[in-house]
Amino acid sequence: MHKLAKEVSVSLANELQNILNYWSENTVDEINGGFVGERDHYNNLVPNASKGIILNSRILWSFSAASNHLKTDKYNALCERSYNYLKTNFNDEKFGGVYWELDVKGNPINTRKQVYAQAFMIYALSEYYILSNNKEALNWAVELYELVEKYAKDNIFRGYIEAFNEDWSPIADMRLSDKDANEAKTMNTHLHVLEAYTNLYKVYKNEGLKNNLTELINLFLTKFLNSNNNLNLFFDEQWNLKSSVVSFGHDIETAWLLIEAAKVLENKTLITETERVAVLIADVFIQTGIDTDGGVMNDYEPKTGKLDGDKHWWPQAEALVGLRYAYNITKDEKYLSISTKILNFIQTKIIDKTNGEWFWRVDKKGKLYTSDYKIGMWKAPYHTSRACIVLNK
């Protein structure tokens, strides 16, 4: 291994243990079951915070993946706790799928069916099945996959519709969060369906799933990827583009997840093409998405020239992985050199050396936002632990 690559990998191997320790020690909800809904910037527990499916499914994935990577049973109890809470509280036994949000006691308070959420459950359950060999978990993952294909798949224009009501009927407001556009098809949701189907295919060699995953890769290559080698984010049902914003973190995350999807399919043509595209994406990402301090910026609107120079935690982690893939393909040391700068930025600006875990974000000048939470609906150990795992395989 190249010296620069080894430095990043060793640092992240140590950081993985820090991340696992933090989440083991700060998230178990001994009063209400499952895991706490929120801790603030200063690590204070936020009382009565609701519990989101994204946080909870990502906890299951992270501890299952870390256990598989480290070949340890140290976290088995946490994985079982997570799985059982998801099964008991988030699973909609009447209509199928998982709810979006529960109150602190575990009662559903937002029962919408966000396809993004179903995808993360498939991703987590597949990983947990690899760890536990629990057939019930695999069956549940397959059931969720079949629900997504039944209700969310657009059989006319292809791709997947963003969201539905509790009973899978059409919903007017499909937004994943307040900052998203209310559009029928989003790059973000398709990316995580791709990721979920990639993981499921490792343990469920189904011909239909193989075809669905192949189609997803091709959608990324033909619909989402644009001529500037960025990924378009929002479309209507007929694939009319509804946004020109560039999300730097999503671009570099897509670069390597496409390669993984092609590899699991063992499709040499798609492997070659996704590797070619990944390098193009990585090169544009380097030119436009990284600040002089080594931090990955949030997004850019080319029509207005507006740059969001905030540096959120997760694009830093995804950049380390995406740039390593670009190096592995090209052997060009520039990708490793830039990775070390990003790692240094993470270590000096993003990792909380007092309370543990990673801060949500800093501004363009490196100043912390203290209003963001440390744990919450959208803040889980998934991006960070995954980077640590992938770069130590």
Q: What is the pLDDT of residue 314?
A: 98
Mean pLDDT of 122-139: 98
Q: What is the pLDDT of residues 208-227, one digit of tens each?
A: 999 999 999 999 999 999 99
- Hey, which residues does 160 pair with through a beta bridge? 153
Q: Which of 360, 365, 351, 352 is nearest to 309 (CA)?
A: 365
Those residues with Cβ within 8 angstroms of residue 171's Cβ, 6 or more apart along the chain or in another chain: 112, 163, 164, 165
Tell me the pLDDT band of 179, cut-offs 50, 70 and 90.
confident
Q: Exposure pattern of 272-298 as b/e (b: 16+ CB <10 Å)? A: ebbbebbbebbbbbbebbbbebbbbbb
Tell me the pLDDT band of 16, cut-offs 50, 70 and 90.
very high
Tell me the pLDDT band of 24, cut-offs 50, 70 and 90.
very high
Those residues with Cβ within 8 angstroms of residue 53's Cβ, 6 or more apart along the chain or in another chain: 86, 90, 98, 99, 100, 101, 114, 117, 120, 121
Contacts by residues 301-309 (CB-CB < 8 Å, ≥ 24 positions apart)? 301/244, 301/245, 301/246, 302/244, 302/246, 303/244, 309/363, 309/364
Q: For the chain, how many helices (H) and strands (E)?
A: 12, 12
Phi, psi of 374 (to 5 degrees): -85, -40
- Hey, which residues does 10 pair with through a beta bridge? none
Separation between Cα atoms, residue 312 and residue 18, nearest integer Å: 19
Tell me the pLDDT band of 14, cut-offs 50, 70 and 90.
very high
Separation between Cα atoms, residue 259 and residue 324, nearest integer Å: 12
Tell me the pLDDT band of 12, cut-offs 50, 70 and 90.
very high
Range of the domain at 336: 3-390
What is the number of structural domains in the chain?
Answer: 1
- Calculate the average pLDDT of the chain: 98
Mean pLDDT of 298-310: 97
Phi, psi of 239 (to 5 degrees): 70, 30
The CATH number for 160's domain is 1.50.10.10
- Six-digit token pair at 99? 């709810």
